[in-house]
Chain A
Amino acid sequence: MSTTQVVEGIDGTLTARHGTPPLNVVYEWLTTVDHKKIGLMYIGYALIFLLIAGVEAMLMRIQLAIPNNHFVSPLVFNQLFTMHGTTMVFFVGMPILFGFGNYLVPLMIGARDMAFPRLNAFSFWVSAFAGFLLYFSYVGASGLYAAGAAPDVGWFAYAPLTAKVFSPGHSTDYWTLAVFLSGIGSIGTALNIVTTILCMRCRGMKMSRMPLLVWLYLVMSSLVFVTVSPLTAAQIMLTLDRYLGSHFFDTQAGGSAVLWMHFFWIFGHPEVYVLVLPAFAFVNEIVPVFSRKAIFGYPAMVAASVGIGFISLSVWAHHMFTVGLGAAANTFFVFATMVISVPTGIKIFNWLATIWGGKVIFATPMMFCVGFLFQFLVAGLTGVMLAAAPFDWQLGNSYFVVAHFHYVLVGAILFALFAAFYYWYPKITGRMMSETLGKWHFWLFIIGFHLTFDFMHVPGLLGMPRRIYTYEANRGWGGWNLIVSIGAVVQAIGLLIFVYNLVQSYFRGKEAGHDPWDAWTLEWSTPSPPPDYNFAVLPTVNSRRPLWDLKHPEDPDSDYE
C-alpha cells in the first residue's frame, strides 16, 4: 500500500512524492547515507539511552536518599554509577551532539550532504553497536560475583582496579571494548564534519561568514581527533595488560597507576569541551533569533571558541591535583585552568550583550537558553573554585564535583539541547511542538534541576566523597541527600512530558512552514522537512545572515561586514 504526498519546493513548484511500504521504510533507514536520517538515528538512539541512564540515576538516588539504605546492594550500586556515567558520556552525549551536527551542518553551509556519506553511516552503526555491547554485559559478562555483570569500575576506570587481579571476569572488558568502538565512531564523524566544513561551503560563504554553530562544530570535531586518540591507546594498553601480560598499568609489576590517569584525563578533560561546545553552538543560533538581534562580537566569539579548544588540551591534570604531582605541576595546571575561564567569560558577556537592546521573546527555546545562561554561569564559577588546587584538595572527588559537572552537563548542555529540540523540531518534522507542554516541561525540569543540583553542593562541602553506595548517619549528609533525590523525581516527570511532547507533536502539532521563528540562517530557507537533496539550487551568500539580507533588502548585513 503506498501513499502520495505533494511537496512544495523553494521556488514554488509542486512535486509528487510517493510513499513506501513499511518494510521498505525500514530498509531505507538501515541503509541510508543521508546526513539527515543518520542525524535523526543518532538522536533517537541517544534519547533511548538517556531514558535508560536516567533510570540508573533514579535507582542511585533512591539508594542514597537516606543513610545506611538497603535498596540496592553495593555491587549493583557500583555498576549503576559506572553504567550511568559511561552511558551518558558515550551513548547519550556524543551521539546526540553528533546527531544535531550531522543534521544541521550541511544545511547551514548550503551543502547537499556530508563529505563522506558512507563513512557517516559506518560511524553511526559502529557507535550504535558499541552501546549494545556495553549493555550486553548485564547478560553476558562474568564479573566478580555472578555470571552476567555489568562493569563496576567507574566511568574513568582507574588502574590498577581494572587489572585482571582486581577485576576478574569480563565485565571490565565490555567497558573497554564498548568505549573503544564508540571512539572509532566518534573519529569517523569528526573527520566527516571537519572535511564538510572546510570543503563544501556554498559560494560566498567564507569561513568568516559561517554560522557560529558551524564554527563550533569545526572546533569540537578537531578536538575529537586529538582527544579520543589517547583514550583509544589507553584502552588497547589496558587490554594488553589484562590478556597478554604487559604491565603498563600493572603496579604489582612496576607499572604506573598515574600513567592511566594521565592518558584518561588527556582525553577526559577535552571531552567535556567536546560536549559543551555544541551546546554553545545551539545557544549562539537561538539567542540572537529570540532577541531579534545579531550575535554581539562574532569575531570574538570565534576566537574564544578556538581558544577554548586549544586551552582545553592543557588543563587535564586539574583532575589529578590530589595525586601528588608536586607543587610546580599543580601550579601550572591551576594557571591553565583559570585561564580558560577568560574566553568562556567572554562568551557569556557576548550573549548578555546580544540580549541587551534586543526584543526578547520567551518562547520555549529561549526559556531553555535563559536557563542555560544562568546555570552555565554558576557551573563556570564552581569550576573556578575547583581550579584553585588547595580548594580542590578538599572538594575533589566529593559531591561538590559531582554537582559541578552535572551543572554543566544537565544545566548547560541538556538545557541547550532542549532549546535545540524545540527550535529545530519544526524544521525536521514540519510541525511545531506544543508550547503549553513545553512550558510545563521547562518549569518542572528547572525546579527539579535546582532542587537536585544546587543542594548537591552541600554534602560535598560537608565532606561526602563520591561513588559511595551509602553513608554514615552521623555525618549530617542525610537531609541534603533526601532533597537531592526528590529533585530527581521532579526532573523525571519533566523529561517524560518532553518525550510525550516529541511524539504527540509529530501527529498533532501545528504546521510549521519554512521559517516559523523568522530566523536568518540557510536551513530556514528549505521546506520543512527538507527534501533529500536539501536545496533545489545551491545558494550564494553575501553575509553571515543570508535570510536577514533577503528579508531586509534596505539594511542587509553585507553592508556592515
Chain B
Amino acid sequence: MSLFPRRQMTGCSKVRLASVRAFWVLVCCVVLCRCTATAESPTSIFAPAATPAHSIFDLSMLVLSITLAIFLIVAGLLLYALIRYRHRPEDAHHEPAQVYGSNQIELSWTVIPILIVVMLFLTTARVIIGTQAIPKPSNAMNVTVIGHQFWWEYRYPKLGIVTANELHIPVSNVANSMPTYLNMSSADVVHSFWVPRLAGKTDVIPNRVNTMWIDPEQPGLYVGQCAQYCGMQHAKMLIRVYAQSPADFAAWISQQKQPGRQDFAGNPAAAEGHAVFMHNACINCHAISGTVATGRFGPDLTHLASRDTIGSGAIQNTPENLRKWVDDPNSLKPGCLMPAMHLNDHDLDAITAYLTQLR
C-alpha cells in the first residue's frame, strides 16, 4: 500500500517555491542589466573597443537572446506543470492516466531544436571565419608576443624594438586602418593573452606560434591578464595595452629606439648605479640596449622608467617600489623568478637612482 509523506507540500507552498524561483530570475536579470549597461569594469566583454570584440559581442547578443527565450519557454512550462499537476488530497486513491509517449510531439521537439542548432551553428561559423581565416592586410603592424613566467615580452621586429610589460599599438579606424597582428609564443609554459575589450583570448604555447589581431578605435589603456594557469604568479601576469594616436605612437617608437641612457651628468648616484648594475648578476637576465647587459631571461630594462608599472602590472613603478623590488622581488610578488639580489643599502640606492633614469 502506498505511504504518502505526512506533510505534503500544499498548493500554497508550491506557489511559494515558484515565486522564489521567479524572484531569483528577476534579480539576476536586473543585476545583469545593471552591470552590462554601466560596464564599469575595465575588462567587461560587453564593452567592446575593437573589431574582434565587437563581432563576438554581436554573436553573444544573438546567442543570449536565443538561450534566454528557450529558458523562459521551458522553465515556464515546467513551472506551470508543477503547479497545475500537483497532487491534491482529494485524488489520493487513483493514479493519473499513464501516457507512455507521443510520436508527433517527440518528433516536433527533436526537429525544432535541430533547426535552432543549425541556425546558431551557421552564424557562429561565420564569425569564426571572419576572425581567424581572413588574409592579413599588408599595412598591419606586427608585434611578437612572448609569454614568460610571469611577464610579457613584446618585440617589434620591423622597428628593432624590444620591450616588456606594456604593449603600445596605434589606433585603427575606418579612415586610417592599421590593425596590429600579434604573433605569439611562449618561452616556458602555456599562457593566454586576454584583453577582453579588444578581442577574445588566444593561448600562448611553447613550441607553437599563434596569431591574433586587434584594432582599437579609441586611444586609451586596455587591461587584461594571463588566462591560462601558468604557475605560482599566474594571477599577477597582467596585461596593459596602450592604444595611441599615430602621432603619440610615432613618438613612443622613436623614444624606444634610443639605446639605454649612459649620460648622467649632474646625477652621480645614477652614474654609480650604472656601474653597479653592469658589475652584478643583473646583466645575466636583463638587457639594456647599448650596454654589456644582454640577458634575455628577464624583461628588457632599456626604457624601464617610461613604464607605469613593474612586475608585469603587479605594482606601481615608483622609486620606493623599484628599490623594494630589486632588494627582494618575492616580497612583492611571491613566486616570481627573479631572486633577491642581496645588495647593500648603498648599492640599492645607486641602482634605483640609475633605473629611474632609464626613460
Interface membership of chain B positions 78-117, coded 1 if the CB is closer than 8 angstroms to chain A and 0 otherwise:
1001100111100100011111111001100110011001
Interface residues of A in 312-342 (CB under 8 A from B): 322-324, 326-327, 330-331, 334-335, 338-339, 341-342
List of B residues within 8 angstroms of A322 by Cβ: 192, 200-203, 227
User: Quick check: is A377 within 8 A (CB to CB) of the other chain?
Assistant: yes
Closest A residue to B108 by beta carbon equals A349
User: Quick check: is B21 within 8 A (CB to CB) of the other chain?
Assistant: yes
- Give which listed residue, A154, A330, A373, contacts B132 with CB less than 8 A: A330
In the complex, the number of residue pairs spanning A and B with C-beta atoms less than 8 Å apart equals: 313
Interface membership of chain B positions 110-146, coded 1 if the CB is closer than 8 angstroms to chain A and 0 otherwise:
1001100100110011011101110000000000000
User: Quick check: is A393 within 8 A (CB to CB) of the other chain?
Assistant: yes
- CA of A150 to CA of B230 in the docked complex: distance in angstroms? 17
Given contacts A292-B87, A346-B110, A390-B56, contact A338 B120 (CB under 8 A): yes
Closest B residue to A386 by beta carbon equals B63
Q: Is the CB of B95 within 8 A of A397?
A: no
List of B residues within 8 angstroms of A334 by Cβ: 121, 124-125, 128
Interface pick from B35-43, B164-172, B258-266, B320-328: B35-43
Report B94 CB to chain A, min CB distance, Å.
9
* Number of A residues with CB within 8 Å of any CB on chain B: 109
User: Quick check: is A294 within 8 A (CB to CB) of the other chain?
Assistant: yes
User: Quick check: is A496 within 8 A (CB to CB) of the other chain?
Assistant: no
Interface membership of chain B positions 210-226, coded 1 if the CB is closer than 8 angstroms to chain A and 0 otherwise:
11000000000001111
User: Quick check: is A388 within 8 A (CB to CB) of the other chain?
Assistant: yes
- Give which listed residue, A300, A331, A390, A454, contacts B28 with CB less than 8 A: A454
Interface pick from B64-72, B280-288, B295-303, B341-349: B64-72
Report B339 CB to chain A, min CB distance, Å.
14
Report A99 CB to chain B, min CB distance, Å.
25
Q: Is the CB of B235 within 8 A of A257?
A: no
Given contacts A342-B117, A374-B21, contact A257 B129 (CB under 8 A): no
User: Quick check: is A73 within 8 A (CB to CB) of the other chain?
Assistant: yes
Interface membership of chain A positions 371-409, coded 1 if the CB is closer than 8 angstroms to chain B and 0 otherwise:
001100110011011011111111111100000000000
- Give which listed residue, A257, A324, A392, A463, contacts B224 with CB less than 8 A: A463
Q: Is the CB of B117 within 8 A of A361?
A: no
List of A residues within 8 angstroms of B233 by Cβ: 74
- CA of A393 to CA of B124 in the docked complex: distance in angstroms? 12
User: Quick check: is A132 within 8 A (CB to CB) of the other chain?
Assistant: no
- Give which listed residue, B85, B149, B210, contacts A358 with CB less than 8 A: B85
Given contacts A342-B113, A357-B96, contact A160 B206 (CB under 8 A): yes
List of A residues within 8 angstroms of B120 by Cβ: 338, 384, 388
User: Quick check: is B160 within 8 A (CB to CB) of the other chain?
Assistant: no
Given contacts A359-B91, A435-B5, contact A390 B121 (CB under 8 A): no
Report B230 CB to chain A, min CB distance, Å.
7
Q: Is the CB of A251 within 8 A of B207?
A: yes
- CA of A361 to CA of B13 in the docked complex: distance in angstroms? 12
List of A residues within 8 angstroms of B246 by Cβ: none
Interface pick from A25-33, A206-214, A468-476: A468-476
Q: Is the CB of A331 within 8 A of B8?
A: no
User: Quick check: is A477 within 8 A (CB to CB) of the other chain?
Assistant: yes
User: Quick check: is B2 within 8 A (CB to CB) of the other chain?
Assistant: yes
List of B residues within 8 angstroms of A467 by Cβ: 229, 234-235
User: Quick check: is A75 within 8 A (CB to CB) of the other chain?
Assistant: yes
User: Quick check: is A71 within 8 A (CB to CB) of the other chain?
Assistant: no
Report B239 CB to chain A, min CB distance, Å.
11
User: Quick check: is B290 within 8 A (CB to CB) of the other chain?
Assistant: no
User: Quick check: is B358 within 8 A (CB to CB) of the other chain?
Assistant: no
Closest A residue to B134 by beta carbon equals A327
- CA of A89 to CA of B145 in the docked complex: distance in angstroms? 35
- CA of A154 to CA of B234 in the docked complex: distance in angstroms? 12
Which A-B residue pairs are the 3 nearest by beta carbons? A393-B200, A463-B43, A518-B2
Excluding A356-B85, A377-B71, A458-B32, 6 further A-B contacts by CB distance (< 8 Å) are A161-B189, A166-B149, A254-B207, A322-B203, A323-B205, A513-B3
List residues of chain B with CB under 8 Å of any chain A CB: 1-9, 13-14, 17, 21, 24, 28, 31-32, 35-36, 40-46, 53, 55-56, 59-60, 63-64, 67, 70-71, 74-75, 77-78, 81-82, 85-88, 91, 95-102, 105-106, 109-110, 113-114, 117, 120-121, 124-125, 127-129, 131-133, 149, 188-190, 192, 194, 196, 199-203, 205-208, 210-211, 223-235, 238, 334-335
16 intermolecular pairs with C-beta atoms under 8 Å apart: A324-B211, A338-B124, A342-B117, A346-B106, A360-B81, A361-B8, A370-B82, A384-B120, A390-B128, A397-B227, A461-B32, A463-B45, A467-B235, A476-B35, A557-B98, A560-B100
